[in-house]
Amino acid sequence: MKDSHAHPGHGAGHDHGGPQSFWRKYVFSVDHKVIGIQYMITSFLFLLIGFGMISLMRYQLAWPSPPDDFDPEKLGMIRGTLAWLLGDRMEYGFMKPDFYNQLGAMHGTIMIFLGVVPLGVAAFGNFVVPLQIGAPDMAFPRLNMMSYWIYLVGGIVMLSSYFAPDGFPQSGWTSYAPLSVVAPPGQTIWCIAMIIIITSSLFGAINFIVTMLNMRCQGMSLGRMPVFCWAQLVTAVLLLVAFPVLEGGALLQLLDRVAGTSFYIPKDMMYGSTVFPAAGGGSPILWQHLFWFLAHPEVYVLLLPAMGVVSEIIATNTRKPLFGYKEIVGSMILIGVLSFVVWAHHMFLSGMRTSLANLFVTTTLTISVPSVAILTCLLLSLRGGAIRFNTPMLFALSFLPMFGIGGLTGLPLGFAPTDLHLHDTYYVIGHFHYVVAPGSLAALMGATYYWYPKMFGRRMNDTLGKIHFWMTIVPMNFIFFPMLFQGMHGMQRRLADPTLQWHNLPVQGWSVIMLFAVVTLAIGQIPFLFNFFWSLRNGEVVEENPWNSTTLEWACPSPPPHGNFLKEPVVFRGPYEYSVPGHKTDYLPQDEAA
């Protein structure tokens, strides 16, 4: 393969004889834009599946067990339908605990590894990064295509665990050993699917790093690279270095399950009424270390691309330079580095040496500082602006307070004495969902509205967008804020029926409220889905730069042709030169000659 470099008006180092077949152009394409859209559609599908699962779970949690006057012959419409659909996974329309655990494990796994990360990193990263750095494609286009198909295969394998005896994996997305080792066969498929998905991610990470380091156009120094690209670069390094450790850990779990090894099995462990047939001598805590060594940087993989998106949307829609570019980029790099030394804050109560806790509390509280820094810079970016409140900007703006709540609630969790009470409660669930749902996911919805015109040459309808916005952010708050109350009261995670424990009854009422919020949230996605597909044919047609933005992705046609730029761009300035005094318009694109 020839080394890729920009030919004027040409593709990435390869030539086509003539027009491509439908399959080559839209299905087995090596073009980063097609691959990005493939990732986008696929990850939206997985997000919907994950959302469906949690909706079933929240219905279960609202009324977890039959009331005293329950008549199993007379199920209501909803419960009756569920009983009919789900058969013996339900008992009189109430969820059996093993099915609840299956949905729980799959919701987490799907949303993180098949949903938000592919959307933030692979979909928008793939589509936008080469454009923003002025490159004709990624460094390794065929590897890029392989990454997508491996991801899809991994996702299908993961979902196929439904057909395993006893169904989906049911040991949590965290798959703690020894439970995960003795669990039914679906867990073996989890291990295999994770290894496949991780492989896809590693190929993608290599591609992003080489692309950003090697393929920036003339004048695009690292210091002029948009914040979104920096976020993707740090994210790619996190994936590259952290994922292999989980891959190794998952391999060990797989071997414990199928080859009789005892990496995670202690001596004389029981399984039911018999001694588990393994040599023993292993450590259950080893799994936790290997898992969280990845899974903590993973949460920054969930976060950083979203922060990058928010930075871009805010800069464009405040019509002024982003505040503190250097501080934001430096903070992202610092978050990346520190993310490797905080993992055991998930393990304060695991039985690991208690003196380690103080070290991890210190690193954990320290990592909050660069996050605060980024949030502060984004807030100060609003000062002195001329703020346009279009749909992407609404999502980007709401990210700030929502991530604020998520980040702040991390404080009592990272601080060991208060974590004593809050560990494994709904407070944790509320905390991380604030960061991931009205935080990252909302930002990525904003990214969809923002970059849709570049992808498809048409705008999405802004009115429908605003309806979608309000019907997403408001219900999300009614779902996740009450979780903080439930957790503060001590309600544990992963309970199929919390009402079996009387200490949870004082906060059970919130679960009913949360269910109605979930229904509203579900209905609120309809305008988005409709808008997405309707606008493909009926949206307002746009030219190159509908937002009057300065970054390079807006300096090519919408949608860009194969090879992206008709002529290799030359960059003269930084990415956020808005409202430059004396300039005739309020934006000065990076590639506009002086």
Partner 1 sequence: MSTAAATAAAAHGSQFDTNTGISHAKLGTWAFLASEIMLFGGLISAYVILRSGSSHMAIPPRALMGVPLATFNTFALITSSVTMVLALAAIKENDIPKFARYIGATIGGGCIFLVVKAYEYHHKWEEGITISSNLFGSFYYTLTGLHVLHVTGGILLMLFILITGLRGAYSPENHERVEAAGLYWHFVDLVWVILFPILYLL
Partner 2 sequence: MIRENWGFDLWLPEPVSSYAGEIDWLMNLLHVVMVGIFVVWSIYFVYCLVAYRARDGQRGVYHQSGEKASFIPDGLILAFEMWLILAFGIPIWAAVKQGTPPPEDSLQVNLVAQQFAWNFQYPGPDGKFGRRDISLVSASNPIGLDDKDPDGKDDIVTINNLNVPVGKPTILNMTSKDVIHDFQVVNLRNKQDVVPGMHTRLWFTPEKTGKFEIGCAQLCGLGHTQMVGNVFVQTAEEFADWQKAQVAEKTGTADARDVAPTAEGRS
* Rounded distance between C-alpha atoms, residue 32 and residue 4, angstroms: 14
DSSP 63: S
Considering Cα of 418, then 423, then 425, then 429, what sign does the dihedral take?
Answer: positive
- Regarding 219 and contact with partner 2 (CB under 8 A), the answer is no
Q: Which of partner 2, partner 1, none binds 492 (CB below 5-8 Å, type-dependent)?
A: partner 2
- Regarding 373 and contact with partner 2 (CB under 8 A), the answer is yes
* Rounded distance between C-alpha atoms, residue 145 and residue 165, angstroms: 33
* Rounded distance between C-alpha atoms, residue 507 and residue 491, angstroms: 8
- Regarding 350 and contact with partner 1 (CB under 8 A), the answer is no
Tokens of 514: 């949360």
Chain positions 182 to 221 lying near partner 1, rule: CB under 8 A, are: 202, 205-207, 209-210, 213-220
* Rounded distance between C-alpha atoms, residue 124 and residue 38, angstroms: 11
Cross-strand bridge partners of residue 271: 274
Q: Which of partner 1, partner 2, none binds 327 (CB below 5-8 Å, type-dependent)?
A: partner 2
Q: Which of 365, 467, 519, 522 binds partner 2 (CB under 8 A)?
A: 365
- Regarding 260 and contact with partner 1 (CB under 8 A), the answer is yes
- Regarding 369 and contact with partner 2 (CB under 8 A), the answer is yes
How far is residue 436 from each of residues 45, 140, 290, 421, measured CA to CA in Å?
Answer: 17, 30, 23, 23
Q: Which of partner 1, partner 2, none binds 214 (CB below 5-8 Å, type-dependent)?
A: partner 1
- Regarding 327 and contact with partner 2 (CB under 8 A), the answer is yes
Three-class DSSP category at 218: strand
Chain positions 399 to 458 lying near partner 2, rule: CB under 8 A, are: 400-401, 404-405, 408-409, 411-412, 415-418, 420-421, 423-425
* Site stretch for partner 2 (CB under 8 A), options 1-9, 398-406, 462-470, 530-538: 398-406
Q: Which of 55, 261, 366, 520 binds partner 1 (CB under 8 A)?
A: 261
Greatest CA span in the chain, whole angstroms? 82
Q: Which of 20, 65, 174, 283 binds partner 1 (CB under 8 A)?
A: 283
Chain positions 231 to 270 lying near partner 2, rule: CB under 8 A, are: 266-270
Contacts of residue 375, Cβ cutoff 8 Å, sequence gap at least 6: 400, 403, 404, 407
Q: Which of partner 1, partner 2, none binds 261 (CB below 5-8 Å, type-dependent)?
A: partner 1
Q: Which of 279, 386, 541, 566 binds partner 1 (CB under 8 A)?
A: 279
* Site stretch for partner 2 (CB under 8 A), options 21-29, 84-92, 185-193, 484-492: 484-492
The C-alpha angle with vertex 74 and arms to 68 and 77, in degrees rounded to 5, equals 110
Tokens 């980029």 locate to: 329
- Regarding 323 and contact with partner 2 (CB under 8 A), the answer is yes
**Cβ neighbours of 420 (radius 10 Å):** 10
- Regarding 68 and contact with partner 1 (CB under 8 A), the answer is no
* Rounded distance between C-alpha atoms, residue 393 and residue 395, angstroms: 5
The C-alpha angle with vertex 366 and arms to 489 and 323, in degrees rounded to 5, equals 105
Binding mask 535-574 for partner 1 (x = CB under 8 A): ---------------------------------x-x----
* Site stretch for partner 2 (CB under 8 A), options 19-27, 40-48, 119-127, 381-389: 381-389
> Which CB atom, from 97 or from 248, has the smaller least distance to partner 2?
97
Considering Cα of 461, then 464, then 470, then 476, what sign does the dihedral take?
Answer: negative
Q: Which of partner 2, partner 1, none binds 382 (CB below 5-8 Å, type-dependent)?
A: partner 2
**Cβ neighbours of 352 (radius 10 Å):** 16
DSSP 94: E
> Which CB atom, from 219 or from 559, has the smaller least distance to partner 1?
219
The per-residue b/e assignment along 507-527, b for 16 or more CB within 10 angstroms, e otherwise, is bbebbeebbebbebbeebbeb
- Regarding 280 and contact with partner 1 (CB under 8 A), the answer is yes
Three-class DSSP category at 358: helix
Q: How far is the CB of 110 from partner 2 (least distance, A)?
A: 17
Number of chain residues interacting with partner 1 (CB under 8 A): 50
Indicate the Cα dihedral angle 113, 114, 115, 117, nearest 10°.
Answer: 40
Contacts of residue 355, Cβ cutoff 8 Å, sequence gap at least 6: none
Tokens of 475: 């219900």
Q: How far is the CB of 496 from partner 2 (least distance, A)?
A: 5
Which phi and psi angles does 282 have, rounded to 5°?
Answer: -90, -175
Q: How far is the CB of 439 from partner 1 (least distance, A)?
A: 27
> Which CB atom, from 134 or from 178, has the smaller least distance to partner 2?
178
- Regarding 275 and contact with partner 1 (CB under 8 A), the answer is no
Q: How far is the CB of 332 from partner 1 (least distance, A)?
A: 19
Q: Which of 36, 204, 498, 560 binds partner 2 (CB under 8 A)?
A: 498
* Site stretch for partner 2 (CB under 8 A), options 86-94, 218-226, 449-457, 491-499: 491-499
Q: How far is the CB of 221 from partner 1 (least distance, A)?
A: 8
Chain positions 361 to 420 lying near partner 1, rule: CB under 8 A, are: none
Q: Which helix (H) or strand (E) holds 270?
A: strand 270-271
Q: Which of 164, 179, 255, 519 binds partner 1 (CB under 8 A)?
A: 255
Tokens of 143: 């590897």
* Rounded distance between C-alpha atoms, residue 183 and residue 190, angstroms: 11
Q: Contact positions toward partner 1, by CB under 8 A?
A: 1, 3-6, 139-140, 202, 205-207, 209-210, 213-220, 240-245, 247-249, 251-252, 255, 259-263, 267, 278-283, 286, 290, 293, 568, 570
